Amino acid sequence: MGKPLFFEILEKPATSCIIAICSAIWFYIQKKNIGYSQVGLSYETAADGHFWRIITSAFSHISILHLVFNMSALWSLGVVEQSGHLGLGVAYYLQYTLVLVLLSGLLVLGMYHVLIQRFKIEYFRRVTAVGYSCVVFGWMTILSVKQPSSKLDLFGVLSLPISFAPFESLIFTSIIVPQASFLGHLSGIIVGYSIAWGLIHGMNNYWAISMLCWTGVVFISSLKRSGAWDLSFLEIEPVTDPSLPSVRIIGSGTGRTLQMSTIPLGGVELV
């Protein structure tokens, strides 16, 4: 008999929070009738400056089956949080989850760019990726290297050897779900191997917080620039008052002259 769910949630706090966030976003999307094209990531929208979609696409799911499949796999992969003895643990999980979200999204865009510009496959210009699968596949890959004896449980009935799970799941989802993003899943696997093999390393709390802050800046900036959300309250008002005198320095040979413009009387009241 397994542990009560409450205790498992306490042992997997980061995984539980991410599942709760993705589920809440799914409910919001359903309630507001938001389509995948409004939150998903595509080459065309990225070219228009919608970089915020790298984040929204990862945490958004349109169908309930997509959400359940990803969250079921993610729950099983929460063992990473309990593997501090392998150099993993909660901090490692959170730090590299951020890396997986950002790098897998950028890698997908890079793949689209090569396919469009080099091979002239225009189909990938408007393909829209959405879902947490890239991160799930990344953690499958990392765990397959760090702890190859582990099992990946799906829906509580299907158990896969973690050492083969990334590619088994890649083939399985491509066959069962034709609209599944093969490149999105593949990007997660590539970034996962890069982390597991130490090609991407050195993350700590300082770098993770710095990366998170810069991600927030880019997220808000791109939201504003793309006009996807009204952020007019972030407007910075100019500090120059045209009614005040302006000062400039004029160079003349070896000497310089300080010149001050006159104050327009119509704009100032003298008391």
Higher pLDDT, 185 or 2: 185
Tens digit of pLDDT for each residue in 181-224?
899 999 999 999 999 999 999 999 999 999 999 999 999 999 99
Residue pLDDT, tens place only, 45-94: 999 999 999 999 999 998 898 899 899 989 999 999 988 888 899 999 99
Evaluate whether 15 touches 81 at the Cβ level (below 8 Å): yes
Looking only at the bridges linking them, the beta strands covering 158-161 and 247-252 are unpaired
- Residue 50 catalytic? no
**What's the pLDDT band for 254 if we cut at 50, 70, 90?**
low
Residue 77 · residue 15 · CB < 8 Å? yes
CA separation (Å) from 82 to 76, 91, 181?
A: 11, 11, 30
Catalytic residue among 185, 187, 194, 222: 185
The domain limits of the chain are 5-224
226 tagged catalytic: no
The three-state DSSP-derived secondary structure of 130-149 is CCCHHHHHHHHHHHHHHCCC
Instruction: Quote the crossing angle between the two packed helices 13-32 and 90-117, to the nearest 10°.
Output: 50
What's the pLDDT score for residue 154? Answer: 66
The pTM score is 0.83
Of 42, 60, 133, 144, the catalytic one is 133
**Single-letter amino acid, residue 56:** T
- Residue where the block lists tokens 């979200």: 101
Which CATH superfamily, name and number, covers 5-224?
Rhomboid-like (1.20.1540.10)
CB neighbours (10 Å) of residue 14? 17
CA dihedral for 18, 24, 27, 33, sign (positive or negative): negative
Among 52-61, 119-128, 147-156, 212-221, the minimum mean pLDDT is found in 147-156
Mind spelling out the 3-state secondary structure of 43-74? HHHHHCCCCCHHHHHHHCCCCHHHHHHHHHHH
Cα–Cα separations (whole angstroms), residue 196 to 66, 193, 200: 26, 5, 8
The 10s digit of each residue's pLDDT in 90-112 is: 999 999 999 999 999 999 999 99
Strand partners of residue 154? 158
Structure-block tokens of residue 42: 């595509």
From CA 208, how far away is CA 141, in angstroms rounded?
21
Please compute the mean of the pLDDT values over residues 149-169 and round it to a whole number: 75
Query: Which amino acid is located at 210 in the chain?
Result: S
- DSSP characters over 93-114: HHHHHHHHHHHHHHHHHHHHHH
Question: Is the pLDDT at 270 greater than 50, yes or no?
Answer: no
Query: What distance in Å separates the CA atoms of residue 178 and residue 214, rounded to the nearest whole number?
Result: 35
The residue type of 133 is S
